[in-house]
Structure 1
Amino acid sequence: MMDIQELVEPFARMLQAIAPASTVRAIEQGARIDALWAEIAGSGYLDALVAERDGGAGLDGLCAHGLWQELGRHIVPLPVGETMIARALLAGAGVPAPGGPIALAVAAPGQDAMVPLGRVAEHVLVDDGRQLYLAPAASARGEPTGVAGDLGASMRWETLEGLAWIARPECGLRAMAAVLRAALIAGAADHLVTVTAGYCNDRVQFGKPIGRQQALQQNLAVMAEEALAARIASQIGCASGLTPSLAAAACAKSVASAAAVRIAATAHAVHGAIGISHDHDLQLYTRRLYEWRLSDGSEGYWNDLLGGAMLASADTAVDFARLHCR
C-alpha cells in the first residue's frame, strides 16, 4: 500500500514550482490559465479519484485530503479539487470528461448561484437537486462577485435541458464541495501558522524578537490549535471518499469555517499593517480563507443542518457523533 506522503510530496513540489504567489496574482488580474492548467493536467492527478477500472488511480478520500490540503497551502487559483471530483463522478457514470477545468455548483434553473472559481472554469457540474448536469460555463449568464481578486462568479442557467447528465449521489454536490473547502482551509491554515510563527521570530522590537512576548506565544498556540482542528475535521469529512454523509460534511465544514475566521484574524493581528498591503502574500491567503469559509455554506448553515439532524435522532450526542459524523 502506498504511503500517502509518497503521493502528496511530488504534488506539493509541482505546485510550489508552477503556482507561486506571482502566478496567483497574475491570474487574479486576468492572466490566462492555459500554461498552469496544462502542467496540472499533464501530471495525471486530475484522475486521482477516478476508479482504476475507468483508467484512474482509484485513490481514497484520505489520499484526496492530502492533495486538497496542498491546493489550499499553495492557494492554487484553479478548480483542481473540483475537477478531481467531477471527473470521478463522470467516469463512474460512463460519461467522458472534458479536458478543461470543471467547477461545482448547486443551482436550480432560473436561479443565481455563487460558483467558486467559476470565472476560470470551462465547464460546471451543476446539481439541481435531482440530477447532475455537465454545463459549459459559457452557457450560463455569469457575473463577477465584485470582491477584489475573487475568481468566483454568480452564474445562472435558464435551462439545463439537453445537457449531458448523470445520476445525483444521495449526498449531492454540496456535501462533497464542503469537504473539499474544509481541506483547502486546513492547508492554508497550516501554511499561515508556519508563516506567522516565522514572522514572530524574525520581527525585532526593542532589541528582541516579538515571538518572545508571552501574549504572542499564546496567540500562536491557539492559532495552531485551530489549524489542527480544521485538519482533523476535514480528514474525518474525507474519510468516506466521494460520498460523505451530511453529518460528516457538516462537522468538517463547520469546524474549518469557524477556524478560518480566527486564524485569519490572528495572522493579521500579528503581522500588523504590512499584512494588508497588496505586495504582501498574507492577504492572498486570508482572502481565500474568508472565501472558502462562505463557499458551500458557512458554519452557520452547517450548524443548523447538524443541529436539526441531532434533534431528529434518538441517539445521544456522543453516539450521534460516533455513528454519523464519520
Structure 2
Amino acid sequence: MAVFCGPSGNKFLFSNENRLLTSWLPLSMRKALVFPSFVGNTKENIGALQRSFMHEILKPEALKHYIPVMDSMAKSHIEEKWLFDPFHSVISGLISMPIDLPGTAYNRAIKAGEIIRNELLSIIRQREKELSENKDLGSNNKLDLLSRMILAVDEENDKLMNEMEISNNIIGLLVATYETTSSSLTMVLNYLAELPHIYQEFLREQMEIAKSKGPGGGELLSWEDIEKMKYSWNVAREAMRLSPPAQVYSTHKNPKYFPEPEKFDPSRFEGSGPAPFTYVPFGGGPLMCPGREHARLEILVFPHNVVTKFKMEKAIPNEKILYHFSPNRTKDALVRLQPHEN
C-alpha cells in the first residue's frame, strides 16, 4: 500500500488517473450495486460521470434552474419526512465484511440494492413512456439527466443504453454523491449546533436572505440568493476541512497550511483561500469532482431551511466523530431543535 501525503502527493494522485493510477470497485461492492449480469464487468458500467452530457448538466448555468427545486424539496423534507431509505443500507454494507448471510450488514446491502434497482427500472420505464409520447422532448436542451441517458447513444458501442445500463449509471452517481453530500450536510449542522457564535453569524446571513423573499418567505431561493451566502459557504468549507467527506485529506490539519488546525475558523477561506492541493474535499486538478457545484448548492440550500426555522443545540456536547465510509457522529448527531419565536 502506497500512502501519499502533502500537496505534492495530492497533486500526483489527482493528476494521474488512468495513467499511473486507476480507481476500481471490488467484486463485493459491484455485487451489491449492479444487476447480476453486470457484476463481472468493470467500473465503466457505473461510470455516468465520464459521459460528456454529465459535464453539461452540472455546469453552474444549468444548475441555476434547479435551485428552486432543491429549495422546495428541502422544505418538504423538513416538514414531512426526516427518514432513512434503502440506499443508506447499501452504503452502510458496502465496506463491511462481505459475508452474505442473513443479519449481516452486507446481506442487508444486497437486499437494499435489489430494491433500488427495481425502483429505478420502474422510474426509467415510466420516463421512456413519457418520452415516446412527446417526441418534442428530444430537442429540448433542458432535459434532465435521466431523459438524457435514455436518449443518449453509447459512446463506445454507438447504440442506446438499455434500461439496466441506465440504472447502473444512476447508481454510480448515487454512490458518488449520497454519502458524501449527506455527511457534509451533517457536519455543517453539527458545527452550527456546537458553536453558537458561528451559528449566530450564519443565521444572520440566512435571515437576511429569507426576509428578502417576501411576506412569509413563500418565494423560493434563486441563484442570486446562493451568491449572497458567502459566510455560510465559508462555514461549510471549514466543516469539510475538519471533517471531510472523503478519505484523502492529509493536508487539512497540517499547521503549515492551516494555522491552529483544530480551531473552527471560516475566515481561512476569505481572499485567495488555501494554497493549491492543500484543501481537497472535492479532489483537485483533472480529478476534480464534476458535481462539486451541485454539492455546493445542496450544502447551502438545506441548512438555509433548517436555521431559518429552528434554534439549534447539541444534545451531546463534545460528541466524537467516527469514520466509516465517511465521517459521522457516534450518536447520529443528535441536535435539539426549537422553532424561532415570531
Q: TM-score range by the shorter chain?
A: under 0.3
Taking structure 2 as the reference length, what is the TM-score of the superposition? 0.26
Query: Which structure: greater strand fraction?
Result: 1
Q: TM-score, normalised by structure 1?
A: 0.27
Higher relative contact order (CA 8 A, sep 6+): 2
